[in-house]
Structure 1
């Protein structure tokens, strides 16, 4: 009888070890997946940051060429002046409806303002 109990205990111990191995594997896999997602997010963030800076440069240049201040844009769009200043610095990005309104009163193509490209070609701005 003690021999059967010992065998059963051994099997239970082996199953517990296998379960812990699977649990450890799943934990390690999840941690690795989270690290990969973080790296991907950082790469995307860097790309987003670059796109945001390029957009800000186009917006800032267009407003300077037109001689329009951040305060004037803010009044026309009914947003705060700091919002417009953040857009011009590339800290934040204006909503799409603001792009179209800015493009309209600057007499610019909204697609170019958003992307830096004219439809079918790269802009030389």
Structure 2
């Protein structure tokens, strides 16, 4: 797996904990988790990141700005959402999507495609 430092952007504490645990057990380094857009943007600007997993909505805030910042830095990412593609930011309707509820295999397969 080329991506080893993964930014987790998730506002639900227990889901963020679950994602982080899965990634760490696979030997990956978790950046975050970031629970809001501001924290995610700060991490993108200050951390070495190989990839990211983004919740589609952070406490009601759309994550388009986070996806834009990742794209501008050529950092691959996947959305992790219980909603369908129609709830993703318009510019990212074709982005990789991991559906909630997910398995560890689902998350790791998404990261392997980075």
Structure number with the higher strand fraction is: 2
Question: TM-score normalised by the shorter chain: which range applies?
Answer: under 0.3
Larger radius of gyration between Structure 1 and Structure 2? 1
TM-score relative to the length of structure 1 = 0.23
Structure number with the higher helix fraction is: 1
